Amino acid sequence: MRLAFLKRWLVGPPMPLAQARHERLGKSVALAVFASDPLSSVAYATEEILLVLILAGSAALSYSLPIAFGIAALLAVVVVSYRQTVAAYPQGGGAYLVAKNNLGLFPALTAASALLTDYVLTVAVSVAAGIAAVTSAVPALVPYRVTLCVLAIVGVALGNLRGVRESGRLFAAPTYFFVVSVLGMVGYGLVAAAFGLLPEAPYEPHPPGLEGLGLFLLLRAYAAGCTALTGVEAVSNGVPALRPPEGRNGQIVMTWLGVISITMFLGITYLAYDFGVIPGGDETVLSKIARRVFGAGMLYYCVQAATMLILLLAANTSYAGFPTLSSILARDRFMPRQFANQGDRLVFSNGILILSGFAILLIVVFGGDTHALLPLYAIGVFISFTLSQSGMVRHWLRLREKGWRWRMWVNGVGALVTGVVLLTLAGTKFAEGAWIVVVVIPLLVVIFIVIHRHYGEVALELSLERLEGPPPMQHTVLILVGDVHRGVVRAVQYAKTLAQGAALRAVFVETDPARTRRIEERWAQWGLGVPLVILTSPYRSLLRPFLEYLDQLQKGGGDHMVTVVLPEFIPRRWWQHLLHNQTALLIKGALLFRSNTVVVDVPYLLKG
């Protein structure tokens, strides 16, 4: 009862299934739910570019602008491509469903495993970056960043367990607070820089270059900045959560996402270039820009607070995508069926809990360090980008609907550029930790196939096809007794009702001959006429003689069903269980995988 009350208090009362349609999201709330990750990526994407370029010295930072324009162009191509995916597949599923329908099973499972991996990394990276924004403003909290990250993940998970619409309302305000704060900072920074209204810049020592500025370093910087594209596919995965018309509303949300993300990303990168910001230290690049624009006043702390909130809640994009994709895979029998079940609040609770658990594990293993997690990031999402856009090319070639040629070219360009970026990411980040993702994705594909094969074998064995009339069945009911008391008498009464037309007997395993005479005397008085079989056990083993006796009963073939009735008294308090032998639990475990054997537990609840 206490656990049930705690659950109701944390996630709210159950919702009827009829309310599912009322839980759909409008466009403005959907932007906050599905787009918080790509919108928030601008908070650290510029910094990742600068951290690579600074290896060649401060002069190399000027290349951040052309790199940022290249990434912005790539983001625009991906957004336009995914607008077509949303319109063609309003039932959701994103890259998995597109690849499944157009490219085949293995590309679909590869896309699904890549997306699931990236969703987990999105939660870990976003939360770690959000806590980094806090520690930039309050350096004294740096030693507690792992604890703060874990608490943040728990908070976001609880918000999502309360339901789609409720979590959308919860996360909408911080998302728009961040957008207004960053656009306000960029707008004021550009105007103030043009008219000389900014406070004097603090001195930042320029580190010497450690590497020559070659093509490989530029590719590394471009690959690092491509984290700005993560989360774009979440809209296509979560289209069913939008209000009708789902496809059209998904396209609008996708367009808003692209315009806002590109504007903020280019604005932050330009200000970092114009102000000569040097990355590194315990302060983020965004914090340095905000401090340069607003000084150390209230507006600076507003930007930091907004950044912290959006980065913490950017994980919500994964909480919208991971459970939905998991449920689709479960319905297709590639993941455990539990992932297809909606919880009390009409959300896929199991997916939310598993996502949170793996994200917390990553946070703990990598110490909550954003830069340690980022090399693992973005590869999975670009695999899904490439497969999704390639699938859409096949989709238009197959259907040849009106306007299919230009649509095919749009998705073809998207597949080409995301494929090139994927190869760049794999080449530049492989040694930095991306090899982990490259190993995990094929491993997940193998797991999906094994699960699917298991479900297929189960369905085949349970099928009624070619089943002739069921053969006659023998039935024996055995009452396993260790003593004679009220609980045993009640179990005997139950067994007699169960054994109509079946053989019924009680079984006592003799481990102490001194007790046998007393058991026989009591059984003669309280056994209700049921015969008692005594099995000797010279080595004081309870299970071995009983299992041998079962083997003897069932040696005739597979049509002899044995029901084992276990009398068990249950103490009222949990600690009292420790004072008694858990013999019934041991027997149930031993008989669990035995064919043609049914175990019936008859509890007797003690009052004291």
pLDDT score, position 21: 47
Listed by start position, the domains of the chain span: 28-457, 474-605
pLDDT score, position 18: 43
Residue 356 has pLDDT above 50, yes or no: yes
pLDDT score, position 164: 52
As a whole number of angstroms, the distance between CA 375 and CA 261 comes to: 22
Least confident of 58-72, 293-307, 404-418, 571-585: 571-585
Pick the CATH number of 474-605 from 1.10.3720.10, 2.130.10.10, 3.50.30.60, 3.40.50.620: 3.40.50.620
For 225, phi then psi, to 5°, come to -75, -15
Sequence-ordered list of residues with C-beta below 8 angstroms from that of 406, at least 6 positions apart, any chain: none
Residue 379 near residue 422 (C-beta atoms within 8 A): yes
The enclosing H or E element of 605 equals: strand 597-605
As a whole number of angstroms, the distance between CA 564 and CA 477 comes to: 6
User: Tokens at residue 427, please?
Assistant: 């080449």
pLDDT score, position 563: 92
Q: Give this prediction's pTM.
A: 0.73
> How do residues 174-221 score in pLDDT, each as one tens digit?
888 989 999 999 999 999 888 877 766 665 655 655 556 678 888 888
The enclosing H or E element of 566 equals: strand 560-570
For 458, phi then psi, to 5°, come to -65, -45
> How do residues 436-487 score in pLDDT, each as one tens digit?
888 899 999 999 999 999 999 988 888 878 777 777 778 889 999 988 889 8
As a whole number of angstroms, the distance between CA 146 and CA 126 comes to: 13
Indicate the pLDDT class of residue 168, thresholds 50, 70 and 90.
low
H helices of 463-542, where?
486-498, 513-526
User: Tokens at residue 174, please?
Assistant: 């911080």
pLDDT score, position 183: 92
- Helix, strand or coil for residue 342? coil
Residue among 390, 378, 463 nearest 422 (CA):
378
Residue among 587, 493, 487 nearest 545 (CA):
587
Q: How far is the CA of 353 from the CAs of 124, 319, 348, in angstroms?
A: 14, 10, 9
Assess whether the region 28-457 and the region 474-605 belong to the same CATH fold: no
State the chain's mean pLDDT as an integer. 82
Which pairs from 436-439 meet CB under 8 Å and 24+ separation? 436/376, 437/117, 437/121, 437/376, 437/379, 437/380, 438/379
The CATH architecture annotation of domain 28-457 reads Up-down Bundle (1.20)
Residue among 392, 408, 441, 395 nearest 111 (CA):
441
Average pLDDT over residues 237-245: 77
pLDDT score, position 404: 86
Tell which wins on pLDDT, 26 or 210: 26
- N-to-C CA span, the chain: 20
DSSP 57-80: -GGGGGGHHHHHHHHHHHHHHHHH
pLDDT score, position 22: 45
pLDDT score, position 19: 44
